[in-house]
Amino acid sequence: MNCAFCQKEITEKKIHLRDDCPACGRDLHICLNCEFYYPNAYRQCKESIHELVQDKEKANFCDFFRPSKGGSSQSDQEDDSLKKLNDLFK
């Protein structure tokens, strides 16, 4: 997983609620670092969460949290795909 803020690679296998990024000091157990975070999904999560997490950049108690696997975030991948489509149809 890479930190959503500074992109430093995080090598810990398990991320706990109070864990911080060693490089920038920001929370790691956040929606933006989760495998299930998806900006276009209902409540921005691929899991069926019952309560909306208002602040996606702060540590939360979500039981579904799993560290994201990819080096780039889902939103970056979507931006690249949208750019390719726009280039194709211009």
Residue 86 reports pLDDT greater than 90: no
Residue pair 72/32 in contact (Cβ under 8 Å)? The answer is no
- For residue 13, give the DSSP letter: S
CB atoms within 10 A of CB 28: 23
- Using 50, 70 and 90 to split pLDDT, how confident is the model at 51? confident
Identify the pLDDT of residue 71.
54
> What gap in Å lies between CA 13 and CA 73, rounded to an integer?
18
Q: Which pTM does this prediction carry?
A: 0.74
Identify the pLDDT of residue 58.
96
